[in-house]
Structure 1
Amino acid sequence: MQKQVKIPIKLMFLHGLEGEMLKLKQKYLEKNFEKCVTPYMKISRWNILQQNSFPRVLIRNKFNLQNAGYECIQNCMNIQINGLNESNPDALVGISWGGGIGLLLLSQGYWQGPTVLMAPAITRFLDVVGERDYKIQDIFDKINKQNLGRKLLIVHGDKDFTIPYTKSVEIVNKIQGSQLLTIPNGSHYLNNIHSPPIELKQIIYDHYIKCKTQENIQNQ
């Protein structure tokens, strides 16, 4: 049997909620790319055993929803900042909660490279907990100020009933140079892009090559 040739790109993957139980994307990326690092955020919607789970953080913050929401964000941001410093990836890939953290990493200047985010949840989350340390328009403005929209590809299924597809339309409309790839009949987990005709590894690779080509042209 011929050994599969992996794509020679180092990825950092930002998982969604229940990341330890839902490892399909992580395994897929590890199988298809030279290296894939997945810093675990200890985040969960319901599992109180996870350090950064919403109920556990809510209890720590005496049931103040906004304070709890921002502790979740900041704890996960710190984990991913450390991951970036340790792994030095070529590209960033995130889904749902992880996609939202990816947008914040771009806006805060911690990451400036090729970025593919699937159904990013940050605007939906801030709608729920309220805007305080992070404001939705401010996130867009900071990314635009750094001209990082050209590095950003948003992938979203038009049958996503968890994070509305319209949230990604809004993001792309507000971030200059960013692109939206719509997956027909794609659910929130986007499991229909693990094989042709629309395959995640090709989406990531094409976006990475596009970004690198733009960099080479600018440096000439």
Structure 2
Amino acid sequence: KRERERQRQREKERKKKMTKIMFIHGLEGHPNGRKVTMLRDQGFEVHAPDMQMSLYRLNKSNSVTRHLLRLPEFQVICAVLFAGICSIIWASLWPSVAVLLLGVAWLAIRIRSLFAEAMHVSFLACVDIQTLALPRYNPDVLIGSSWGGAVAQELIARGNYTGPTILLAPALQEVLNMTGQGCLSSPASSHEEEAESITRLKQRSGDMPILVFHDRQDDTIPYQHSVELARDSEIELRTVSAGGHSLLDLVKKNNENTSTLGEAIREILAR
């Protein structure tokens, strides 16, 4: 029993010395994704709160599609389409076709805006999840990947997090473009507002180290977005060739049993 107690105590002491990372996963990611697992294998204590996020998977409680299905306007459109189909089957043809065409036209006109609204709701929910997780984990370093990078950027822009941050192909500008939102807490009404989160992020970069990794060959999030993010700010952009958007090569171990990302974590903590 004493030996087991000593082992538990040694394990506690070891964990105290480990660098604590809060990893915000990507759009289709999960808490035990490859980057998280690889960082844990390199000796980091990694916490990755599950955002239950996806574009289309209905089994994810925070998916964009689920939020789309909850929107009242989308439900009305579906009801009109259903009524049109039922009328064609059981009632007269021409009025039914008119109802069906009305539903199709309504959906075609509004689907892009409705999808953007649903994505906005999903994003805000992700930000809320990570905001609640921050004081619970109290990380030494925050890492955000793609969609998770956008969430991390918004946390910084709001002042919810002020510590060392590493962003992997961060997607905030892409989220802003897709949702048409500015601060992401309220609808944008002008070009100036659309840049509000980015502007506040740049302003806060002088008070905290922020490091961005982005691959020029990224075919999901434009590399230029990170170039613009680093411009006129204290944010450091490192251009890499690391497997495209996934940036998995950053996390692969080298001969010294660490990785480019692992070295960057230690470097940013030493600043």
Question: Which bracket does the TM-score occupy, shorter chain normalised?
Answer: 0.7 to 0.9
Q: CA deviation at 1:148?
A: 4.2
Structure 1 distance, partners of 2:49, 2:19, is 17
TM-score, reference length from structure 2: 0.69
Q: Which has the higher strand share?
A: 1
SS at match of 2:163: coil
Q: How does 1:122-137 map to 2 (within 5 A)?
A: 122-134=172-184, 135-137=193-195
- Corresponding position of 1:199: 260
Matching residue within 206, 209, 213 for 1:151: 209
Amino acid at match of 2:162: Q
Q: What per-residue deviation string (whole Å, max 9, x for no partner) do you get for residues 7-63 of structure 1?
A: 831110000022129710010122224411100000012211101111111111235
Does the CA contact (< 8 Å) of 1:155 and 1:181 recur in 2?
yes
Greater shift in the superposed pair: 138-147 or 111-120: 138-147
- Corresponding position of 2:106: none
Matching residue within 16, 21, 41 for 2:51: 41
Alignment pair present for 1:169 and 2:227:
yes
TM-score, reference length from structure 1: 0.85
Amino acid at match of 2:219: F
Larger radius of gyration: 2
Structure 2 distance, partners of 1:26, 1:75, is 22
- Corresponding position of 2:107: none
Matching residue within 100, 103, 118 for 2:168: 118
Q: CA deviation at 1:196?
A: 3.4
Q: What per-residue deviation string (whole Å, max 9, x for no partner) do you get for residues 96-143 of structure 1?
A: 000000000000001000000000111112112212443542113223
Does the CA contact (< 8 Å) of 1:52 and 1:75 recur in 2?
yes
- Corresponding position of 1:15: 25
Structure 2 distance, partners of 1:25, 1:16, is 10
Structure 2 distance, partners of 1:106, 1:21, is 21
Q: CA 1:149–1:136 in structure 2 vs 1: closer, same or farther (change >3 Å)?
A: farther
- Corresponding position of 1:101: 151
- Corresponding position of 2:190: none
Runs of 4+ off more than 4 Å: 147-150
Amino acid at match of 2:197: I
Amino acid at match of 1:102: A
- Corresponding position of 1:70: 120
- Corresponding position of 2:39: 29
- Corresponding position of 1:79: 129
Structure 2 distance, partners of 1:136, 1:8, is 39
Q: Which has the higher helix share?
A: 2
Structure 2 distance, partners of 1:130, 1:199, is 35
Does the CA contact (< 8 Å) of 1:11 and 1:33 recur in 2?
no
Structure 1 distance, partners of 2:31, 2:43, is 21
Amino acid at match of 2:179: V
- Corresponding position of 1:209: 270
Greater shift in the superposed pair: 162-171 or 55-64: 55-64
Does the CA contact (< 8 Å) of 1:58 and 1:65 recur in 2?
yes
- Corresponding position of 1:186: 243
| Identity between Structure 1 and Structure 2 (%) | 30
Structure 2 distance, partners of 1:65, 1:32, is 39
Q: CA deviation at 1:149?
A: 6.4
Does the CA contact (< 8 Å) of 1:97 and 1:122 recur in 2?
yes
SS at match of 2:181: coil
Q: CA 1:145–1:162 in structure 2 vs 1: closer, same or farther (change >3 Å)?
A: closer
- Corresponding position of 1:90: 140
Does the CA contact (< 8 Å) of 2:168 and 2:214 recur in 1?
yes
